[in-house]
Amino acid sequence: MKNIFLLLSLILICLQTNAQQNNSFACGLENFIAAARDKDPDYDKKMVEQEKLRSQWKNKDHKTTANVLTIPVVVHVVWNTITDSISVAQVASQIAVLNTDYMRLNADTSNTPSAFLPISANPKIQFCLAQTDPQGNPTNGITYKKTAKTSFAIVSGDTSIWHTVKGGYDGWDPSNYLNIWVADFGPLGGAGFWPGAVFAGHRQGVIVNHTFFGTTGSAIAPYNLGRTATHEIGHFLDLHHLWGDGGNNSSCTATDFCGDTPTQVAASQNCPTFPKTDACTNSAPGLNFMNFMDYPQDACRNMFTVDQVARMRACLEGGPRSSLLTSTVCSIASGVNEKLKTNTISIFPNPASHTIHVANISELSNIKLYDALGKIALELKAEQDLSIDVSSLAKGIYTLAIENKTGNVFRKVILAK
């Protein structure tokens, strides 16, 4: 095992110095390492033991490898101004990106260099906005909380985002939901939290700055294609940065614990030209900078590797995130009033090729179909069951959003041509 020191990093923070000018990231990891070690003198030992367990999970024979694994999501929007009170459409655009990136259905897979195609892999992981809250009531999987705080200085030790009484929002049960907090985090792009005892409880989730979230609304180029959440959820599912997590790997001894990712000195920035080499990997094909766990701009990241996929699936299949697979919160709550039962939306066939039928619409509703980039592919109004012609749309994963005075409903739709 190379450089056990890397195991000391608790959370993986992506900082953008200026979203509109510098277009680059820097890592503020060492502050969190020091804080963790100060609080827990046995932390080094605990992290070594946890990595041993991770190796056992990864080496198991996962008989459900061919199955698509589904993770329930709740998005907590904590806002101070209209700008950071992001829309339902912006949330839907992010879920759409996750559902293509984690199924390797993203259109930019064509940009993966041929030299890396043999190690590119499909995680077969999907994300659904929760339909039931912790009290068993219906939800659209999005919460909104107005706060007096203008921003949350996470890198300075401000933990209030995770506490309602401090101006943030309490997370929902992490054994049933992937909690994603979206707010103004100043220069912080996002943070993903590894599984483990040190960050048990409220921090077992992901935070993303609203300017990095989704593909529309307040998202700012060149990080407006939803890849920050893709990256941070990779951390949530136990992935490391490609250069390790110490900021600089000049000794070329650090590891991401994945044998198929080339060793590299430091994070890649902007949009490198292929092949990119450095002191650790000095010959073609060079670095796997188009990997979601590196730092290029959103348009320049498009893949996970075979070993990364094995690690994420091990985290879910028998590993520390396994409870998410048995969660039932993506199902409509039972015992709700009859009106809501009547409005339970049904979509068929799904997957579809030419036509999708939407049933149980009982009141005037706005219906939008979002593509993988969060763009509206179709938009219409209806107040009763209808059929939608999708024959002109490209194959892929879409998100159907239905909004009416009762609430909002989101459904994943797969078009298979």
The confidence score (pLDDT) of residue 347 equals 83
| Cα 346 from Cα 359, distance rounded (Å) | 5
Listed residue (299, 294, 316) closest to 126, CA to CA: 316
Q: Residue 217 to residues 94, 107, 367, 387, 410: CA-CA distances in angstroms?
A: 11, 21, 18, 29, 18
Listed residue (348, 377, 372, 374) closest to 360, CA to CA: 348
| Cα 287 from Cα 265, distance rounded (Å) | 10
> Which residues are known catalytic residues?
232
Q: CB neighbours (10 Å) of residue 414?
A: 18
Cβ-count burial 42-63 (b if 16+ within 10 Å, e if not): ebeeebeebbeebeebbeeebe
Q: What is the DSSP letter of 352?
A: B
Comparison of pLDDT for 69 and 333, the residue scoring more: 69
Mean of the per-residue pLDDT values for the chain? 83
- Would you say 318 and 382 are in contact if contact means Cβ atoms under 8 Å apart? no
Per-residue pLDDT of 252-268, as tens digits, reads 998 898 999 999 999 99
The pLDDT confidence band at residue 24, using thresholds 50, 70 and 90, is low
Could you tell me the two tokens for 402? 């239905």
DSSP secondary structure of 354-400: SEEEEE---S-EEEEEE-TTS-EEEEEEESS-EEEE-TTSPSEEEEE
| Cα 339 from Cα 342, distance rounded (Å) | 5
